[in-house]
Structure 1
Amino acid sequence: MKSIFFDCNDQLGPVWEQVLRPDDPPIDVNMTPFKKEELPLVIAGYDIAIDDHSYMPTDLVERCKQLKHIVFLGTGAASYMNIAELKERGITVHIIKGYGDVAVAEHTMALLFACARDIARMDREVRGGSWAPKEGMQLQGKTVGLIGLGGIGGEFARMAAGIGMNVIAYNRTPKPELGIKQVDIEALLKTSDVVSLHLTLGDETRGFLGAERIALMKHGAILVNTARGALVDEQALIQALKSGIIRHAGLDVFHSEPLDAKSELAQLPNVTLSSHAAFRTLEASQTLLRRAIDIVKSIKG
C-alpha cells in the first residue's frame, strides 16, 4: 500500500529520519506547505496518510478515492476531521495514545506556574519598559481539580502532589486504584483553586465546560487547558476572564488553530498562550513517529 506523511515539517523531519528502520515500508514525506484546499492533490494516489494536525474536511478527503487509512499523530483526531463521516466512506482513522503523557503533564505544570505568577504578562511589560511587579498565587496547599484521569491526568496529579498541592479529580469512570480523591464535577469546580482539563474530545465532552459549569467555579480560580479547545465554551471563558471568575487561563489548545492574533483570547492580559506544543518534546516525538510507522506496517488492506 502506498503511504505518505503529508504534512511533515522542519521540526519533525530530522526526528523522522532518526526513527526509521531498514525494514520499514516505504513512506513518502511531504515537507512543502500547502493550502487546505490543495489536500486532495497532495494525497492523491495514496492508500495511507499520516497527519500531523492538519485539518481533513470530509468534502476534501472524499475526493481522494484511493485513501483508506489516516494515521493521526496523537489522540485528538476528532478536532481535525469527522471520524464517523470518514468511516462511512470506508476510511479508517488510527490514533496514537500514551506517547507523550509526561511531556503534556510537564507543559501543563509550566502553564500553571506561568499563570499563578503572571510571568508572561510581566515579561511583556518589562520588555516594553514597564516595571510593575504582580502579586502571584502560591500553589503549595492549594486545591487542584483534574477533569479527566487518563495517562496525562495521572502524571499531572503526581507532579501537583509533589509541589504540595491537594489533588482532587473528576473522571467519568471512577478509578479508585489511583488513590486520588474523586468527586462529582460540581464539587470539583466549587472547591478547586486550579482546574486542569485532561479529557478526550468526543460528542459527550464537546463543550463540557459551558457557561453554567464555569459559573460554578471558585472565584479567582486558574484554568489550564492542554487537552482540546472545544472542551470549553470559548465565549463563556472570555466572559469569565473579564469578570474575574477565572483569575487566569493557560491555554495550549483552541477551537480554531492556529489562533488568530485578533482573537479576543489573544488580547486579554490574563491569558497565557502556547501554540499546541504541550506534546512537543524530542522524546515524545520519537515515540509518536515510531508508533505511526508501526501502524503503517501493521495495515494489511
Structure 2
Amino acid sequence: MTAAAASPPVTTLITTPTFARHSPEPWEILASAGAGPLRPYEDTALSHTELLARIGTADALIVGMDTVTAEVIDAAGRLKVIAKHGVGVDTIDLAAARARGIPVVCAPGSNSRAVAEYTFGLVLSAFRGITTAHRQVMAGEWPKVFGPELAGRTLGVIGFGRIGRLLAGYALAFGMTVLAHDPYVTDTPGAERVDLDDLLARADVVSLHLPADPATGPLLSRARLAAMKPGALLVNAARGGLVDEEALAALLRDGHLGGAALDAFAHEPLPADSPLRTAPRVLLTSHMAACTPEANRAMGVLVAEDVVRVLAGDPPLRPAT
C-alpha cells in the first residue's frame, strides 16, 4: 500500500501592505492556527495580474483596496474565505463570492474613530489654510492666511453610520449645526435628518461616509455638485467613486465651490493627469484616514480571527454577506 499524499499547507494570501504593520497579534493568530501567510509583508500591494497568478494556491485571502473580481474568485480553486482589512467591501464581487459559497468578512467599527478624527482634521485644515501656510513657510514666506471659524457653520453628513455619527459629535462640540442624510437610518442624534437635495443646498461642509456603487455612478454627479451651496467645502474620506472628479475640478476652478479635501479617489494612486492636481483650493492625501496604530491592530485582529474561524469550519462573526 502506498501512503496517502499529504495535504498541502493552509495558506493565507495577504495583499495589503499595511496588514499587522503596528501589531504582531494578527500574524500570531494566523500562525497559531496553522494558516500562516503565503506572501510575507511587503511594501506594495499586489497588482491584479499578480493576484490572479497567486490566488490559485490560497485558502484565505486578506485584501485592502484591491479589486476582487469574479475573474479572481473563479481562479481561486482552494479559496474558502475573503477578508477585507477594513470595512467597505464595495471592491469585492459579493455576488460571485456567494455563488461559490465563499464567505466575505470585514472589520466593522475597527477604524471608525481614526477616519472620523482624520476627516475633522481635513475640515479644520481646509477652512484655516493650515497646509497652505505650512508650504509657504517652508518656502521662506511668512503668510497670514485667513479662514472662517467653524462655529455657526453647517456640516452635512452623507451616510450616518459609525463614522458619520462620530464626526457629527466633533462638529457639535465646535458649535456647528449638523444635517444628516442616510436613507437607511431614522435615528440621527444631534443632527437634523434631511433629504440629499436639502443637505447639499444648506451645508457649508459636505462630508461623505458611505460606500460607492459602481453600477449607479458617482453619487455627487456634476448636477449635484453644482447644486451645493456656493462656497461650500466638499470632504471625501470614504470612496473616490462617490464624486465626479472632473466636474469637481471644474466647479473649483470657476469658483462655485470653496474647496475640496479628499483622501479617496476613483483611481489610486492619483493619476498624474488628474484634473484635481491642478485645481485650486484642494487638499489631497493618500487614502490614509484609517492609518492609526490602534485601527491597524483592530482591523488585523478582527479579520484574522474570522479567517481562522472559517478555515476551521465555523461561521464567521463578522460576515459582510
Give TM-score, length-normalised by structure 2. 0.85
Cα root mean square deviation, aligned: 2.3
1:131 Cα deviation after fit: 4.2
Which structure has the greater CA radius of gyration? 2
Higher mean C-alpha deviation, range 63-72 or range 162-171? 63-72
- Structure 2 residue 90 is the aligned partner of structure 1 residue 68: no
Give the Cα–Cα distance (whole angstroms) in 2 for the partners of residues 296 and 174 of structure 1. 30
Structure 1 residues 14 and 239: CA distance shift in structure 2, 3 A: closer
Residue 217 of structure 1 aligns to a residue whose secondary structure is: coil
1:17 alignment partner in structure 2: 24
Deviations along 1:239-284, one digit per CA (max 9) or x if unpaired, are: 1111222211110101011112332212223110111111111111
Structure 1 residues 154 and 87: CA distance shift in structure 2, 3 A: same
Residue 27 of structure 1 aligns to a residue whose secondary structure is: coil
1:100 Cα deviation after fit: 1.2
Structure 1 residues 12 and 203: CA distance shift in structure 2, 3 A: closer
1:241 alignment partner in structure 2: 252
1:109 alignment partner in structure 2: 120
Higher mean C-alpha deviation, range 84-93 or range 247-256? 84-93
2:41 alignment partner in structure 1: 31
1:23 Cα deviation after fit: 4.8
Give the Cα–Cα distance (whole angstroms) in 1 for the partners of residues 113 and 21 of structure 2. 22
Letter in 2 for 1:30: P
- Asked whether the 8 Å contact 1:56–1:81 carries over to 2, the reply is yes
Residue 70 of structure 1 aligns to a residue whose secondary structure is: strand
Structure 1 residues 87 and 164: CA distance shift in structure 2, 3 A: same
2:175 alignment partner in structure 1: 164
Higher mean C-alpha deviation, range 146-155 or range 204-213? 204-213
- Asked whether the 8 Å contact 1:147–1:197 carries over to 2, the reply is yes
1:205 Cα deviation after fit: 6.6
2:317 alignment partner in structure 1: none
Deviations along 1:123-151, one digit per CA (max 9) or x if unpaired, are: 22332344443321211110111111100
Structure 1 residues 179 and 8: CA distance shift in structure 2, 3 A: closer
Match for residue 61 of structure 2 among 30, 49, 53: 49
Deviations along 1:46-69, one digit per CA (max 9) or x if unpaired, are: 121111222334334422322232
Letter in 1 for 2:25: Q
Structure 1 residues 58 and 173: CA distance shift in structure 2, 3 A: closer
1:71 Cα deviation after fit: 0.5
1:85 Cα deviation after fit: 3.4
Higher mean C-alpha deviation, range 108-117 or range 167-176? 167-176
1:221 alignment partner in structure 2: 232
Match for residue 96 of structure 2 among 85, 90, 110: 85
Give the Cα–Cα distance (whole angstroms) in 1 for the partners of residues 57 and 71 of structure 2. 17
Residue 246 of structure 1 aligns to a residue whose secondary structure is: coil
Letter in 1 for 2:309: S
Give the Cα–Cα distance (whole angstroms) in 1 for the partners of residues 25 and 14 of structure 2. 18
Give the Cα–Cα distance (whole angstroms) in 1 for the partners of residues 182 and 251 of structure 2. 24
Give the Cα–Cα distance (whole angstroms) in 2 for the partners of residues 166 and 266 of structure 1. 31
Q: Which runs of 5+ in 1 are unaligned?
A: none
Give the Cα–Cα distance (whole angstroms) in 2 for the partners of residues 297 and 13 of structure 1. 16
- Asked whether the 8 Å contact 2:261–2:284 carries over to 1, the reply is yes
- Structure 2 residue 136 is the aligned partner of structure 1 residue 125: yes
- Structure 2 residue 142 is the aligned partner of structure 1 residue 142: no
Give the Cα–Cα distance (whole angstroms) in 1 for the partners of residues 212 and 309 of structure 2. 26
Structure 1 residues 177 and 135: CA distance shift in structure 2, 3 A: closer
Structure 1 residues 89 and 266: CA distance shift in structure 2, 3 A: farther
Give the Cα–Cα distance (whole angstroms) in 2 for the partners of residues 210 and 289 of structure 1. 35
Give the Cα–Cα distance (whole angstroms) in 1 for the partners of residues 214 and 294 of structure 2. 31
* Mapping for residues 144-293 of structure 1, pairs under 5 Å: 144-176=155-187, 178-202=189-213, 206-293=217-304
Query: How many residues are paired up?
Result: 299
Residue 12 of structure 2 aligns to a residue whose secondary structure is: strand
Deviations along 1:87-137, one digit per CA (max 9) or x if unpaired, are: 334444322211111110000001101110122223223323444433212
- Structure 2 residue 301 is the aligned partner of structure 1 residue 294: no
- Asked whether the 8 Å contact 1:4–1:30 carries over to 2, the reply is no
Higher mean C-alpha deviation, range 263-272 or range 98-107? 263-272
- Asked whether the 8 Å contact 2:236–2:263 carries over to 1, the reply is yes
- Asked whether the 8 Å contact 1:76–1:201 carries over to 2, the reply is no
Give the Cα–Cα distance (whole angstroms) in 2 for the partners of residues 116 and 250 of structure 1. 10
Over the matched positions of the two proteins, sequence identity in percent amounts to: 33
- Asked whether the 8 Å contact 1:205–1:231 carries over to 2, the reply is no
Letter in 2 for 1:17: P
